[in-house]
């Protein structure tokens, strides 16, 4: 597919603490209720579509989850993923204000990461619309080695509380138990088989990826989604001929995560041994050949250049990438702090540092402290992010949904909204179904909206 | 006792230091970076001022997807 629909879903971690030492904290459930109070009223279940076409809801395990609107470019996904952070940040500020009015002096911290202290996990799911004709077996076998090794640039890093504070590349790798699985809450797989395209099922399938970490770095998100998209294009066109299958993929994903030098070799089914970076290079070289005969767009050119640059740096010294990759930026920050303040890696302060890197509030989050000091590289402008908080992408179905939600909110019309339909209740009693996420407008539905 | 190799390394370092004059521009840049870093570390101190142990211990989520 030349043009593809992408979406990112992030489940956030949340905690509410009292301002008084030893004071009673609010439960997660109550904190989430305060978070949603600004946008829903009364006893409605916290699950809404926003005027920018995104969905914001309370997911399994009481996590606030933000799903970006359908985007048709990788850059747009990066922008809309950040817009989601900013929306939740503003909601958390409003929530704290409301809590104070209710007499609770406390603070809400929201983290864009994937693990808590005892080791529960929550995800960052990527979604890619794909052509239905691709055989699933082929898709899985060509994607697994890619997903196993992609963490060397997409990982968010984590200090493991056990093992004297050992630092690993990926938050999520340790929670992966299967190669292929339908489960998202128990035996999570490298390939997840959930397939709800919210589109014409005969034409499209949805690839729902649950193996990745949440990223703070814009460039890490760009690379994660971008390289995956290029690999998918090659799979759809049956271009990958090399057999890169691994002997034990689940073990490999953990081995790679535990080696911050990125030199650990893993065994292929063929008996050959390659490092994660070398395996990524196999995909990159294949993509270079692919684009010798296929046209690439501006995003793809940027992805290819960044992919090559990152792999080259990883081959010499991963720590060079502290301005770009989350796991490296955080590692460097912790190393510096530990050295300067003479701390042990397994101290509570180090765990706190790890956590606070992912705090989405610019005044408290360490990623944002780095950003403010220009110690990490941005790729999108703040005003683009600000814009995406209110406006949907112009080139997908989300445009129509966003406009509808805005009007319905203004005019207080009762309606049901979902990814693939919009329903007006009494007295209009109409349902507009959309099986094409690339279609921006529905004539009939538009006329209807403006007649309300 | 420093090994011969370490000693030799040290000598090289001292020699270099005598020969090379500091470039004021580079020094200034270096100082700026150091200041920035110190400031960052102070800001981290502030964030970590709250009881890290209690905070980290209480950070328990239910499993998500």
pLDDT of residue B8: 45
Distance between CA atoms of residues A399 and A397, nearest Å: 5
- Between A and B, how many residue pairs show a Cβ–Cβ distance under 8 A? 98
Average pLDDT over residues A412-417: 88
- Interface test with chain B among A352, A353, A371, A375, by most B beta carbons within 10 Å: A352
Q: Are A353 and B59 in contact (CB under 8 A)?
A: no
Per-residue model confidence (pLDDT) at position B48: 86
pLDDT reported for residue A142: 97
Kindly provide the ipTM of the predicted complex, given to two decimals.
0.92
CB B62 to CB A373 under 8 A? no
SS3 of residue A296 by DSSP = coil
Mean pLDDT, chain A, whole residue set: 94
CB neighbours of residue A80 within 10 Å: 29
Contacts of A15 in chain B (CB under 8 A): 55, 58-59
Identify which of B36, B47, B61 has the shortest CB distance to residue A120.
B61
Set of chain B residues whose Cβ sits within 8 Å of the Cβ of A336: 37, 41
Q: What band does A284 get if pLDDT is binned at 50, 70 and 90? A: very high
Do the domain assignments include residue A433? yes
Distance CA B65, CA A65 (A): 11
Q: Is the pLDDT of residue A445 over 90?
A: no
* Mean pLDDT along residues A255-265: 97
Tell me the pLDDT band of B19, cut-offs 50, 70 and 90.
low
Which is more confident, A45 or A271? A271
Residue A290 lies in a domain: no
Residue A103 has pLDDT above 70, yes or no: yes
**Is position A276 within any domain?**
no
DSSP state of A193: -
Is residue A414 within 8 Å of residue A407, measured between CB atoms?
Answer: no
Pairwise CB contact (< 8 Å): A366 & B47: yes
Q: Tell me if A356 and B47 make a contact (CB, 8 A cut-off).
A: yes
- CA torsion sign for A211, A214, A220, A224 is positive
Chain B residue set in contact with A, beta carbons under 8 Å: 36-37, 39-41, 43-45, 47-48, 50-53, 55-65
What average pLDDT does the segment A254-270 reach? 97
Q: What is the mean pLDDT of residues A355-370?
A: 96
Find all residues with CB under 8 Å of A153, minimum gap 6, and list them: A220, A223, A224, A280, A310, A311, A314, A321, A325
User: Is A429 at the interface with chain B, CB within 8 A?
Assistant: no
Report, as an integer, the average pLDDT of A423-429.
85
Higher pLDDT, A43 or A261: A261
Q: How many Å lie between the alpha carbon of B15 and the closest alpha carbon of chain A? A: 28
Number of domain units in chain A: 1
Residue of chain B whose Cα is closest to the Cα of A189? B65
On whether residue A430 sits in a domain, the answer given is yes
For A50-104, list the strands marked E by DSSP: 55-59, 63-67
The whole-model pTM stands at 0.93
Q: Determine the Cα–Cα distance for residues A304 and A150; give it in Å rounded to an integer.
A: 14
Interface residue of B56, B61, B62 to substitute, partner A, most A CBs within 10 Å: B61
Per CB-CB distance under 8 Å, the chain A contacts of B36 are 373, 375
In the residue annotation, A441 being an active-site residue is answered as: no
Higher-pLDDT residue of A22, A197: A197
pLDDT of res. B20:
56
User: Is pLDDT larger for residue A215 or for residue A45?
Assistant: A215
Which among B47, B59, B65 is the nearest to A15, CB-wise? B59
Q: Which residues contact A46 (CB under 8 A, 6 or more apart)?
A: A32, A33, A36, A40, A56, A57, A58
CA nearest B40 in A: which residue? A369
B59–A62 C-beta distance less than 8 A: no
Q: Taking CB atoms and an 8 Å cutoff, what residues of chain A touch B58?
A: 15, 17, 25
In angstroms, what separates the C-alpha of A64 from chain B's closest C-alpha?
10
Cβ A185–B64 below 8 Å, yes or no? Answer: yes
Across A94-108, average pLDDT = 94
Residue B55 distance to chain A (closest CA, Å): 8
Residue A285 within a domain: no
Closest listed residue to residue A435, CA positions, set A203, A126, A136: A203
In terms of CA atoms, which chain B residue is nearest residue A333? B41
- Under 8 Å between Cβ of A213 and A171: yes
Residue A416 falls inside a structural domain: yes
Which residue has better confidence, A148 or B12? Answer: A148
Confidence of residue A397 (pLDDT cuts 50, 70, 90): very high
- Confidence band, pLDDT 50/70/90 cuts, at residue B28: confident
* Mean of pLDDT values over A176-194: 93
Q: Which residue range is the domain that position A402 belongs to?
A: 398-451
Structural domain boundaries in chain B: 23-59
A440 lies in a domain? yes
8 Å CB contact of A59 and B64: yes
Say which range, A203-217, A283-297, A381-395, B25-39, has the weakest mean pLDDT: B25-39
Q: Find the range with the poorest average confidence among A13-27, A177-191, A260-274, A359-373.
A: A13-27
Examine the pLDDT at B22 and tell me if it is beyond 80.
no
The DSSP H or E segment spanning A261 is none
B18 pLDDT exceeds 60? no
Cross-chain CB nearest to B65 (options A15, A59, A117): A59
Question: Which of A10, A11, A17, A125 to substitute to test the interface with B, most B CBs within 10 Å?
Answer: A17
Structure tokens, A15 = 């905690």
Of the ranges A268-277, A309-318, A356-365, A421-430, which one carries the lowest mean pLDDT score?
A421-430
**List A19, A59, A299, A443, catalytic entry:** A59
Instruction: Quote the pLDDT of residue B7.
Output: 44
Tell me the CA distances in angstroms from A8 to A108, A221, A276, A352, A367, one per residue in order.
Answer: 24, 10, 25, 26, 20
pLDDT at A385: 98
Work out the average pLDDT over B10-16.
43
Residue B21 confidence (pLDDT): 65
Count of CB atoms within 10 A of residue A16's CB? 24
Q: Is A56 a member of any domain? A: no
Least CA distance to A182: which residue of chain B?
B65
A202-243 pLDDT tens trace: 999 999 999 999 999 999 999 999 999 999 999 999 999 999
């Amino acid at each position: 597919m030349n043009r593809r629909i992408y979406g990112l879903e992030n489940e956030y971690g949340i905690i509410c603490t009292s301002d008084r030492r030893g004071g009673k904290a609010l439960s997660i459930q109550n904190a989430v209720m305060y978070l949603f109070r600004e946008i829903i009223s009364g006893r409605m279940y916290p699950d809404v579509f926003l005027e920018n076409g995104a969905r914001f809801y309370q997911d399994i395990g009481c996590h606030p989850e933000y799903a970006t609107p359908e985007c048709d470019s990788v850059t747009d996904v990066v922008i809309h993923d950040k817009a989601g952070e900013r929306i939740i940040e503003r909601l958390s500020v409003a929530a704290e204000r409301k809590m104070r009015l209710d007499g609770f002096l406390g603070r809400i911290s929201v983290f864009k990461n994937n693990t808590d202290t005892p080791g529960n996990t929550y995800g960052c799911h990527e979604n890619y619309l794909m052509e239905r004709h691709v055989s699933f077996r082929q898709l899985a076998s060509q994607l697994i080695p890619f997903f196993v090794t992609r963490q060397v640039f997409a990982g968010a890093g984590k200090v493991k509380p056990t093992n004297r504070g050992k630092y690993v590349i990926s938050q999520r790798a340790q929670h992966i138990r299967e190669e292929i699985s339908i489960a998202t809450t128990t035996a999570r797989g490298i390939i997840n088989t959930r397939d709800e395209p919210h589109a014409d099922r005969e034409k499209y399938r949805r690839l729902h990826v649950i193996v990745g970490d949440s990223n703070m770095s814009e460039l890490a998100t760009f690379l994660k989604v971008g390289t995956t998209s290029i690999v998918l294009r090659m799979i759809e066109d049956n271009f990958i001929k090399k057999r890169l299958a691994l002997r034990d993929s689940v073990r490999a994903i953990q081995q790679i995560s535990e080696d911050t030098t990125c030199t650990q070799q893993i065994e292929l089914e063929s008996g050959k041994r390659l490092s994660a970076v070398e395996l990524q290079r196999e995909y990159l070289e294949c993509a270079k050949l692919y684009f010798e005969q296929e046209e690439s767009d501006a995003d793809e050119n940027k992805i290819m250049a960044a992919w090559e640059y990152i792999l080259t740096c990883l081959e010499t010294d991963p720590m060079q990438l502290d301005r770009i990759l989350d796991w490296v930026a955080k590692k460097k920050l912790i190393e510096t702090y530990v050295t300067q303040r003479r701390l042990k890696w397994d101290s509570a302060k180090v765990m706190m540092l790890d956590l606070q890197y992912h705090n989405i509030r610019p005044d408290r989050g360490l990623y944002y402290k780095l950003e403010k000091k220009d110690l990490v590289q941005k790729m999108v402008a703040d005003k683009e992010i600000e814009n995406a908080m209110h406006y949907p992408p112009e080139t997908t179905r989300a445009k129509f949904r966003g406009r509808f939600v805005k009007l319905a909110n203004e005019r207080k019309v009762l309606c049901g909204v979902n990814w693939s339909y919009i329903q007006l209740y009494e007295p209009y009693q109409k349902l507009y179904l959309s099986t094409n996420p690339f279609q921006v407008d529905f004539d009939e539905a538009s006329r209807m909206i403006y007649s309300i | 006792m420093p090994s011969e190799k370490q000693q030799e390394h040290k000598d090289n370092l001292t020699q270099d230091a005598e020969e090379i004059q500091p470039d004021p521009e580079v020094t200034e840049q270096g100082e700026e970076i150091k200041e920035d870093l110190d400031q960052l570390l102070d800001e981290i101190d502030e964030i970590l001022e709250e009881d890290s142990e209690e905070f980290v211990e209480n950070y328990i989520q239910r499993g998500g997807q």
